[in-house]
Amino acid sequence: MKVAIVGASGAVGQEFLRILAERNFPMDELVLFGSERSAGTKYNFKGKEIEVKLLQHNDDFKDVDIAFTSAGAGTSKEFAETITKYGAVMIDNSSAFRMDDDVPLVVPECNAEDALNRPRGIIANPNCTTIMMVVVLQPLEKLSHIKRIHVASYQSASGAGAAAMAELQQQYKEMVEDGEVKTVKKFAHQLAYNVIPQIDVFQPNGYTKEEMKMFNETRKIMHTDAKCSAMCVRVSSLRSHSESVWIETERPISVEEAQKAIAAAPGCTLKDDPATLTYPMPLETAGKDDVYVGRVRKDLSDENGLTFWLSGDQIRKGAALNAVQIAEYLVKVGNVK
């Protein structure tokens, strides 16, 4: 088994290295690819130095079985043919192919089998905010069909990449040292000591692209007709996204039923005890694999409504971990090359 990481120097690329090592992913060789800026950089993987190769249109992917790509939608589109032409499975972290009919969009806890039907050799990894929400919606959908979803997100700097995380830290430093923020490049506005009610670009309907991803991707992953109305907000936490979710189900679900289903669901951890001020927070969920859920309660405005809070590491379950879990599923069912 030969595995490639495209975009090895990015926040998600670096997480791939850690997760593949931690989970002892079954492989004989790992190759790293990157842009001109990162080519030549060496990274340690299980005690061995691996040098990043320049991503080019050549035969470098001939023997590759699985390629994890995380270098932006433009690169994924440009290199998809080069990466897949000899049969490699491309598990793509960008938004390039997510809504294409001939590309499965997979969260293993929800629709692992969809990964087996990939006419173009590409499997898309969903948007981080969507991944974390559907992992929790899936066990609730089994209790009663979810008709409607409202969600407000609290997304950390990490969602915008490693440089954005560094910029947030720089902004806090500038505030302390100079009394004002001078560096504002990665976000539309200063993020330190602020929240920004915009993630990605605005669409003609007034929603942002991030918000429309939650609407469209949720339907594709869960094979559902549920409608999801989202408000996505960037907050000044460093890593791990959180979400406030309201659902309306066909029949009322009790808090106890929901808590039990969430606690038993793969990929979810219930952390819900108001008496001891126990609920998930990004500071604690950063670096963890599961999506953590708390504050489960009835929606006071809707008899069939339930509301809860979730928090999970956007770089892990929201990106690299989900992709590795897709690959683990393909290995398990013997469906790689």
Nearest to ligand 2RA of 137, 330 (CB atom) = 137
Q: Which of 150, 232, 241, 268 is catalytic?
A: 241
Binding residue for ligand 2RA, selected from 69, 75, 84, 127, defined by CB under 6 A? 127
Query: What span, in angstroms and rounded, lies between the C-alpha atoms of 73 and 61?
Result: 19
Rounded to the nearest angstrom, the gap between the alpha carbon of residue 310 and the centroid of all alpha carbons in its chain is 14
Nearest to ligand 2RA of 170, 198 (CB atom) = 198
Q: Which of 128, 228, 232, 268 is catalytic?
A: 128
Site for ligand 2RA in 208-267 (CB under 6 A): 210
Q: What's the min distance (Å) between Cβ of 188 and ligand 2RA?
A: 12
Question: Tokens representing 205?
Answer: 């309907």
Q: What's the min distance (Å) between Cβ of 310 and ligand 2RA?
A: 14
Q: What's the min distance (Å) between Cβ of 326 and ligand 2RA?
A: 17
128 is catalytic: yes
Nearest to ligand 2RA of 7, 159 (CB atom) = 159
Q: What's the min distance (Å) between Cβ of 103 and ligand 2RA?
A: 17
Region of 187 on the Ramachandran plot (φ > 0 left; ψ -120 to 50 alpha; else beta): beta
Site for ligand 2RA in 138-177 (CB under 6 A): 155, 159-160
Residue 129, interface with ligand 2RA (CB under 6 A)?
A: yes
169 marked as part of a ligand binding site: no
Binding residue for ligand 2RA, selected from 6, 103, 124, 128, defined by CB under 6 A? 128
What residue numbers does the annotated binding site for NADP(+) cover?
9-12, 37-38, 158-159, 314
- Enzyme catalytic residues: 128, 241
Site residues, ligand 2RA (CB under 6 A):
127-129, 155, 159-160, 199, 210
